[in-house]
Chains A and B, each alone.
Chain A
């Protein structure tokens, strides 16, 4: 039986706010935060989870609509913690790209306001259970300050509807810092030195910006700023501790630099990328710095390393007690591939990360790191009812995601790609090639 909600819904049209309580029954509820509940019951109202538990445990109101999900599995929506979603469409077409502002210093850029709610990538991505994404502003070549990211849910009329954490973190992208002969076997010494110098200049400029911004923040507190400066104003929350700095740092020199940077400027940081983070895991743990692992499906950085090095990063961080999440590399060209996020997480399991940790690494953990654990990341009473229904383990490629709910509203799983699929399946039926 189609619900009233569903009858109203059409592809790519955001449904209205949940008006009728829903009671899901029969499914295994994978809460993520706690034990899974076989044949569980989950009551949803006004976009939030009201209660969940064994059959009959939820006191469903009389008007609650019941959805029988016997044999199915319910999971909290996946969270893609490092993406260009909403900011990039076709990576080869400049006109569709809004992720990288010009110049090295753009702390005042706000990703949220550039999120294209009608991006065709959004419905394609949520069809695989990815229901929230961090839209990350980046810097151009050579590193710098990209701007402030936004955690968005993958449904809404406008970016205002979509914003879950409107200003999630300030993103600092470190320049390349490895210039040894291993990386540059055919370059001249003069060229290498020039690159080293440029890199060092960028790092000094970054420090200078933060020093200036801290002084500005103090002056602003004291009411001494006559004319606000757009860039420095945008950095004030960093010094008041309200906003974390997400430092994009992959290799060891960058990560060491990030640690020193946090110390020097007294700011809270999150490492994004973190390829070499296992090398300094005890330092990260001691200082409580989380890592958003920037991709599992990536190549080893070094010829010497084991082929499985990228697959083992998360497991090593987990064993060392470092807080982490698994994401992808976040470049514009990657936006269209965010739908494969669960398979990135899955690719750590055969390499030492417990399966339940792999699941947390794309649900609860990113919610915690991004400051949204009160609303996302697990099936718990009080959290947003943003979840999906699958016919099996969603880390498995062959599992189908059957239904998706965002804030209690069921989203019809149709998109640009399914329309093309259905159109051309019809062609071969007409030609008599297929039935």
Chain B
């Protein structure tokens, strides 16, 4: 409720005149005194959603609506220019809240910014020149992605064709919304009139701040941030800085003897946002971004309108719970490529489902009670697609009133201009749309006329005449059908050549093609009369005239409702989406070989009892009346396997690789509940993982421990109570030794790596002291005192100093492992694990001495120089030397078979089998600080367990069921059933998509362009720059290997097998 009030408050604060006449523009003779009184009569007036007047009169005067009412009771002023609009529909001008009209080039979507998800904007790989603009200016932030002070109204650049295109769709007002960066700047609401004075078009400047979790992509040449988690961290830090800066300035003003804070226009521009006075329009990249946006909103108490991407329906329950309005596009996807079996095989079920459901998105949002506005944003051909798509949405169940509201009253209200715009009530700005028929119901209805600030702007559609209907031509009758642009006339069974030339119709007669002597009729339409001449090749022209005696009646099938069943309540979309599994009150697993990983060891023919999600008993001959009983005779049961090194289930890049220290970035911000890898790992018995930042920098980002609760959303994956972690890294990756081209980023040596760590902690200690001092300083009541600036990067390091967080450090060589062991001891920071630690066997005593764990590959080696001395006995030697040891995956593939990784500790080093299994269960739980909850089959712990077909250390075993928190997330039997159902659903959708796809291909062939996936390229195509392309393939492959480009619904495997290496 509070949010609404704030919006209303904003309205009251805006005092700019709505009309253009109150202008300081100097006028030169001759001055324009065109009267600005218009009366629109005879049309159906849609005053507001749900308020319709058939045969109404609308009077516009001096740029505002003067009167609107039934013809009978609404006088037409004398002197008004009268527009007879019988049969037409009249609406309040439409409003698009996500427009690029008026934007200067440097505020438009950056080609450099690849979207993370299919829902994102179309893009091309980065080009150097795109990365340059805009640079820091004057008092603005030095980071080019933070441009909160960028004011569109002060930087307008109109392109006449864009203004016209928007108006022709009926958008008489558009929000010029900046589209580049993270905090993108402030939008302006513009009227789409053709006026030379740009100021007169601005209805309101600085309407909203615009934001997005947008990162610069690529590893070289990009500026901070180049990951989605970096983008969120930067936005968070910017908000904190703005809050701090305000306080610091206030304190300085009160006490000029304080040290002077810098003036900072960017931070100052965020004040209205922080005070909730200016809304933030926050663009969502993918369906899961709404959740991230909601969290940022709540953290800073912002007033947020989400800019959506068409996938909202999949998260409609969540959006409803957020009570966050959304600006929704109607750029429904083209049918997927299904014309060959090979292509149909590649198309994901999720894509097909989205193709089918996308037009139902607005309707589903309406049914869910979500407030939304519609936008033409993201369309490649809005003039062709926009109204067809809106009508399609209506056929899918969106009411015409709701659709009208989404284009008028809702957007007006969202930006607090509901008293100026959105209806045809008297006093509103005279923005009016006249359409040939009901735009929301009648196929082919189009906008013919728009009034903007009370000035008429006819559209191209109005210039095209419609000659269809029944005509009296002398004694004959003609019946002209077809379409408006291509009328059809048949006389005596022969189709006539009939063409439209501007306002003229040209017909060649007689229509029979074999006629010798031909004549041509050229006639112009005036009301219902065609007047012109009939000309023979040699004869003199004679006058010709025809009268329309009946209007054209479209015999085409009227648009019928086509409401689909709502998509199933499963998550994620596509194959294997499930509803959150139920938690039975009690489950009893009988007669299994239990590998407890606890003090009980391995129990033959034993039972496991689960109550309310927790292990209630482990032992022989248990009984529990009413429990769901699973006969596991001959089976083996282990704790759920835990992967201490994972990069599964995160979106938008796992390396914030632009700087050597990025402690502020958080994997928690970017979890991905659609990652198919989670399901695949459940099928291999893995239930929990340490999802980490990559190893591109010495001090990476904050880790997140998750359980693979498939079917839940990103927040549902998090394990509460885990030891917070942070990723550090040493060696070749942070030195960038294996980069394709030489780099100069500090550090380039292992000497430098140590210094980066010492430097960071030196700063952290200073920061810690600064805050301690401030807290200790007595505060005089009433005095204005500025808090120290909060620095999220240093805060994370202080948490280490205060032992509230622990380090997971990527490391290989003995020298660097020893170095960090010594530095950590000196600094007193907890080390949870040395990761990879392939030379851990050389310095196991040093690792053990600081209480750190070792988390290793079982037998990988020789992939780079620092793993040349890796040996498969590493795990056993560390274990025997007293190091808490695990085997991990660091790989979505290896993570599916951690059980056989554990077996390698037996093969290489004779670790007892039960101890070996702990390498992937209890020991990992300890390293992640979740051993109180999971990691072994012990009474009181979470019921995270796996039922195996055979001895789990054998490669011949497979997981049959995988349970987390007493809920079954994987079952081989369900897997087969879901495969089957998905195959049927896919077959249905392929059959449905095929005709649409083929029609599209035919159309694009006619239009002369192959279109995406339209078949092999034409052989005569000019040779592309193969070298550039191959370099691009190689770069993309490298990015993939570093887990950098994963978006939602990532196919989970190869991104592109461009290398021919099949990997």
Contact = CB atoms under 8 A, between A and B. Distances in A.
Interface of A: 89-93, 120-121, 138-144, 173-176, 178-198, 200-201, 204, 248, 250-253, 256, 273, 275-276, 279, 294-295, 297-304, 306-308, 329-331, 333, 335-337, 339-340, 343, 346-347, 349-351, 355, 395-400, 417, 420-421, 424-425, 427-428, 431, 433-434
A181 B900 CA distance: 35
A102 to B, nearest CB: 12
A180 B1024 contact: no
Given A195-B1029, A253-B342, A302-B1053, 19 more contacts: A91-B862, A93-B864, A140-B1030, A186-B114, A186-B118, A190-B124, A191-B125, A192-B1012, A200-B1017, A252-B342, A303-B1049, A350-B949, A396-B956, A397-B955, A398-B913, A400-B907, A417-B871, A420-B871, A428-B845
Interface stretch (B363-371, B626-634, B877-885): B877-885
28 contacts: A92-B864, A121-B862, A141-B1033, A142-B1059, A176-B1033, A181-B336, A182-B336, A182-B348, A250-B1057, A256-B342, A276-B345, A294-B1062, A297-B894, A298-B893, A303-B1049, A303-B1051, A303-B1052, A304-B348, A329-B1062, A336-B860, A336-B862, A396-B956, A397-B906, A417-B871, A424-B877, A428-B880, A428-B881, A433-B880
A191 to B, nearest CB: 6
B218 interface: no
Given A298-B893, A302-B1053, A343-B900, A175 B863 contact: no
Given A350-B957, A398-B907, A307 B342 contact: no
Interface in B910-965: 913, 949-950, 953-958
Contacts of A329: 1061-1063
A141 B1027 CA distance: 10
Given A331-B1061, A397-B907, A420 B683 contact: no
A207 to B, nearest CB: 12
Nearest to A358: B956
A246 B336 CA distance: 33
A396 B913 CA distance: 14
B1026 A142 contact: yes
Contacts of B117: 185-186
A189 B1012 contact: yes
A120 B860 CA distance: 14
A303 B1033 contact: no
A173 to B, nearest CB: 4
A194 B345 contact: no
B143 interface: no
B1052 A347 contact: no
**A-side binding surface: helix, strand, loop or mixed?**
loop
Nearest to B111: A188
B574 interface: yes
B629 to A, nearest CB: 25
A181 B862 contact: no
- A-B complex: 8 closest residue pairs judged by Cβ atoms: A92-B864, A336-B862, A346-B955, A397-B903, A307-B683, A185-B118, A299-B1053, A307-B680
Interface string B312-347: 000000000000000000000000110001110111
A123 to B, nearest CB: 13
A400 B958 CA distance: 22
B958 A351 contact: yes
B339 to A, nearest CB: 11
Contacts of B1050: 303
B979 interface: yes
Contact of A141 (B575, B676, B872, B1060): B1060
From A175, A185, A198, A303, residue with most partner B Cβ within 10 Å: A303
A350 B845 contact: no
A129 B1055 CA distance: 34
A200 B894 CA distance: 34
B827 interface: no
B486 interface: no
A188 B863 contact: no
Contact of A417 (B337, B343, B872): B872
B162 interface: no
B877 A337 contact: no
Interface string B883-900: 000000000111011001
Contact of B346 (A188, A250, A302): A302
B732 to A, nearest CB: 8
Given A294-B1062, A398-B953, A182 B907 contact: no
B351 interface: yes
Contacts of A301: 1051, 1053-1054
A431 B1060 contact: no
Contacts of B574: 303-304
Given A189-B1012, A307-B896, A398-B907, A141 B1059 contact: yes
Contacts, number: 276
Contacts of A337: 859-860
B219 interface: no
A13 B538 CA distance: 106
A208 B677 CA distance: 41
Nearest to A274: B1062
A306 B755 CA distance: 48
Contacts of B683: 307-308
From A250, A335, A351, residue with most partner B Cβ within 10 Å: A250
Contacts of B1054: 183, 299, 301
B351 A181 contact: yes
B865 interface: yes
B1056 interface: yes
A324 to B, nearest CB: 16
A299 B913 CA distance: 28
B123 interface: yes
Interface string B854-870: 00000111111100110
A181 B1063 contact: no
Contact of A197 (B1021, B1047, B1053): B1021
B1060 A139 contact: yes
Contacts of B958: 308, 350-351
Contacts of B841: 420-421, 424
A304 B115 contact: no
Contacts of B1023: 201
From A93, A186, A256, A339, residue with most partner B Cβ within 10 Å: A186
A422 to B, nearest CB: 9
B598 interface: no
A121 B863 CA distance: 11
Given A185-B118, A396-B954, A196 B1052 contact: no
A141 B694 CA distance: 25
Contacts of A399: 907
Contacts of B124: 188, 190-191
B171 interface: no
Contact of B844 (A193, A197, A428): A428
A331 B1026 contact: no
B481 interface: no
A347 B894 CA distance: 12
B956 A346 contact: yes
A142 B1033 contact: yes
A428 B346 contact: no
B892 A183 contact: no
A248 B1055 CA distance: 18
Contacts of A421: 841, 871, 873, 877
A13 B1055 CA distance: 44
A93 B865 contact: yes
Contacts of B118: 181, 185-186
B653 interface: no
A396 B956 CA distance: 8
A333 B680 contact: no
Given A176-B1060, A183-B1056, A300-B1052, A90 B868 contact: yes
A303 B672 CA distance: 15
B982 A181 contact: no
Interface in B1035-1060: 1037, 1045, 1047, 1049-1060
B1051 A92 contact: no
